[in-house]
A and B are shown apart, each in its own frame.
Chain A
Amino acid sequence: MIELKKAGFSYGGGEIFRDVDLHLAQGTFHFLTGPSGTGKTTLMKMCYQALMPDSGTIKVFGRDVRAMNRDDVALVRRRIGVVHQDCQFLNHLSVGENVLLPSFVAGRDGLDDQRNLRELLKWVELEENIDQLPPELSGGERQRAALARAVILSPEVILADEPTGNLDWNMAQRLLTLLIELNKMGKTILVATHDMNLIRAARPHVAARVLRIQGKRVHLAGADL
């Protein structure tokens, strides 16, 4: 699905990554951990082409990202669902419309997606909030709405960058449960988090690999959970 080979990235004259190798195979679940500021978000952004590597190669769905034009990148992003810690919405659209946004931009007629919308919102427990505007949602509700938006097109890969960063423990566990359910449906999941409790909580439910960013490289952090 996503493969980095000796990928390097520098910003403002400082090297952030060097010779990073990473392979996200289909149906796998990965945690990406490491202290704040080590580049978890940067690595996630490289996975969905918000940033380009300075060296090495990144292949997404078998295609070298350097060979992609802007339209290609847009098409790839329809196959990757992204959830951020500070998830952004279009504040003038309702929660339902925001969740359907990927369907709108993909030019789908939206009928099937609209039928699925209520089911999807029920799954993330936001069916009561369908007509609300995003600023009216709590932090946990926003994260779940972002997750619903990320999966509306049934993407093959889901990248979640500190998805539980603003949530209390109960809400974080609920979101983790949703991600695990998606993985069981065959989705490839990469969750960037510095919260080791979250990783431990996932242990009984999913065979996840934990990757640690250290010394500008990505290392496998011990055995499978």
Chain B
Amino acid sequence: MGIVNGIQMILAGDKQADRVVPPAGFTARLTSFTAAVMSFLVVFALALSMATGRLADRWSAELSRTSTVRISAPEAQLEIQSERVMEILETTKGIASARLMRADEQHALLEPWFGPDLPLDNLPIPRLIEVVEESVGPDMEGLRFRLAAEAPGAVLDDHTRWRRPLVDAAARLRMLAVLSICLIGGALAAMITLAAQAALAANTQVIQVLRLVGAKDKYIAKAFVRRFTLRGFFGALFGSVCGMVAIFLLPSAAAEGAFLTGLGFSGMQWFIPLLIPLIAAILAFWATRIAANRTLARMN
């Protein structure tokens, strides 16, 4: 049976072939319920995968081309060292721009931690220089040596120290989400196989009668395959839509892109969960077909 024939068979159906197998109760509901639950879970796994992917990309993009120079020196030295560092940065190859952060910008950075009322002016706060790199960045090791030699209070932070673990964690989360999707798909296929086998076993007498009157195994299998494929499809459609609604109703992402509130889909990604019912139908089609062929061969 080719793919086109298979799709035609599923969509068009065969009224008589559908009629010969008695309407099943429990296995039908179980298959639809399982497909719905699995699809609901897949939507969340997909959302997690998308969110971690976006997070990793954002962290990489935002942090990979920026670095910071922090200058901690006695007050008398602070201005001199800051000027020296700026000179060094402006003459270093691979640096697009360097900007000494204003006092109010530094205060704004510290405010979430210390609150608005802390008298920051009286505290010895280090000076910060924001460095934007060119596409081919500077020789970081060489720059560190120069800064250490000419401005001992300056420390270059290229963010690698904390960027890499975050990006690695996001990539692993994404991998786990993809693995979860594969496992859920496998579990769905196994569940449908078992349900199909149970349905075939429960209809042994029907199969015997059909064989007696000259039914080919393909005809018998067709009735079961179509039924389980449609159950898988509609169950998964229901589960996917419920999952999408649940994701949609999550609190919207904050401007800072907090991880949990960022769980979801963006733009065209909302169409991806709609593929789940199709994939569930394909899984159900093949799982039932294999189960039916095996069971019918065993009954021979």
- Selected from B20, B216, B218, B296, the residue in CB contact (under 8 A) with A93 is B20
How many angstroms between the C-alpha atoms of A93 and B17 in the bound complex? 12
Among the 9-residue stretches B156-164, B192-200, B203-211, B267-275, the one with 4 or more Cβ atoms under 8 Å from chain A is B203-211
How many angstroms between the C-alpha atoms of A178 and B165 in the bound complex? 86
Name the residue on B nearest A97 (C-beta).
Answer: B19
Most chain A CB inside 10 Å of its own CB: which residue of B19, B23, B214: B214
Among the 9-residue stretches A28-36, A72-80, A163-171, A182-190, the one with 4 or more Cβ atoms under 8 Å from chain B is A72-80
How many angstroms between the C-alpha atoms of A91 and B208 in the bound complex? 13
Is B212 among interface residues, defined by CB-CB distance under 8 A? Answer: yes
Contacts of B296 in A (CB 8 A): 70
Interface residue count for B (Cβ, 8 Å)? 22
Contacts of A88 in B (CB 8 A): 205, 208-209, 212
Among the 9-residue stretches A57-65, A101-109, A195-203, the one with 4 or more Cβ atoms under 8 Å from chain B is A101-109
The contact string, 1 if C-beta is below 8 Å from chain A, for chain B 214-239, is 11111100000000000000000000
The contact string, 1 if C-beta is below 8 Å from chain B, for chain A 137-156, is 00000000000010001000
Most chain B CB inside 10 Å of its own CB: which residue of A76, A89, A92, A105: A105
Contact across chains for A75 and B214 when beta carbons are under 8 A apart: yes
Contacts of B12 in A (CB 8 A): none
- Selected from B16, B22, B214, the residue in CB contact (under 8 A) with A78 is B214
Is A82 among interface residues, defined by CB-CB distance under 8 A? Answer: yes
Contact across chains for A70 and B216 when beta carbons are under 8 A apart: yes
In the A-B complex, the 10 residue pairs with the smallest Cβ-Cβ separation, listed nearest first, are: A78-B214, A105-B215, A77-B214, A104-B16, A102-B213, A74-B216, A92-B22, A88-B209, A74-B214, A101-B213
How many angstroms between the C-alpha atoms of A33 and B233 in the bound complex? 54
- Summarize B's interface: helix, strand, loop or mixed: helix
Contacts of B23 in A (CB 8 A): 92
Contact across chains for B214 and A90 when beta carbons are under 8 A apart: no
Tell me the total A-B contact number using a CB cutoff of 8 A: 59
Contacts of B218 in A (CB 8 A): 71
Q: If the complex has contacts A74-B211, A77-B211, are A101 and B217 also in contact, measured as CB distance less than 8 A?
A: no
Besides A90-B209, A104-B16, A105-B219, 14 other CB < 8 A contacts?
A: A70-B296, A71-B216, A74-B214, A74-B216, A74-B217, A77-B211, A77-B213, A91-B22, A101-B20, A101-B210, A102-B214, A105-B216, A106-B214, A110-B16
How many angstroms between the C-alpha atoms of A123 and B15 in the bound complex? 28
Contacts of B214 in A (CB 8 A): 74-78, 102, 105-106, 153
How many angstroms between the C-alpha atoms of A75 and B215 in the bound complex? 8
How many angstroms between the C-alpha atoms of A76 and B210 in the bound complex? 14
Contact across chains for B213 and A105 when beta carbons are under 8 A apart: yes
Q: How large is the interface on A (under 10, 10 to 19, 20 to 34, 35 or more residues)?
A: 20 to 34
Contact across chains for A74 and B209 when beta carbons are under 8 A apart: no
Is B122 among interface residues, defined by CB-CB distance under 8 A? Answer: no
Q: Which chain B residues in 1-32 approach chain A with CB under 8 Å? A: 16-17, 19-20, 22-23
> What are 18 A-B contacts defined by CB distance under 8 Å?
A70-B216, A70-B296, A74-B214, A75-B214, A77-B211, A82-B212, A88-B205, A88-B208, A89-B209, A90-B209, A91-B22, A92-B23, A93-B19, A101-B20, A104-B20, A105-B210, A105-B214, A149-B213
Contact across chains for A90 and B211 when beta carbons are under 8 A apart: no
Contact across chains for A70 and B210 when beta carbons are under 8 A apart: no
Contacts of A89 in B (CB 8 A): 209
Is B300 among interface residues, defined by CB-CB distance under 8 A? Answer: yes
Contacts of A105 in B (CB 8 A): 20, 210, 213-216, 219
Contact across chains for B22 and A90 when beta carbons are under 8 A apart: yes
Contacts of B212 in A (CB 8 A): 77, 82, 88
Q: Which chain A residues in 86-125 approach chain B with CB under 8 Å? A: 88-93, 97, 101-102, 104-107, 110
Q: In the assembled complex, how far is the CB of residue B163 from the closest CB belonging to chain A, in whole angstroms? A: 63
Contacts of B209 in A (CB 8 A): 88-90, 101
Contacts of B205 in A (CB 8 A): 88
Contacts of A92 in B (CB 8 A): 22-23
Q: In the assembled complex, how far is the CB of residue A148 from the closest CB belonging to chain B, in whole angstroms? A: 12
Name the residue on A nearest B22 (C-beta).
Answer: A92
Name the residue on B nearest A106 (C-beta).
Answer: B214
Most chain B CB inside 10 Å of its own CB: which residue of A70, A75, A110: A70
The contact string, 1 if C-beta is below 8 Å from chain A, for chain B 280-300, is 000000000000000010001
How many angstroms between the C-alpha atoms of A102 and B22 in the bound complex? 17
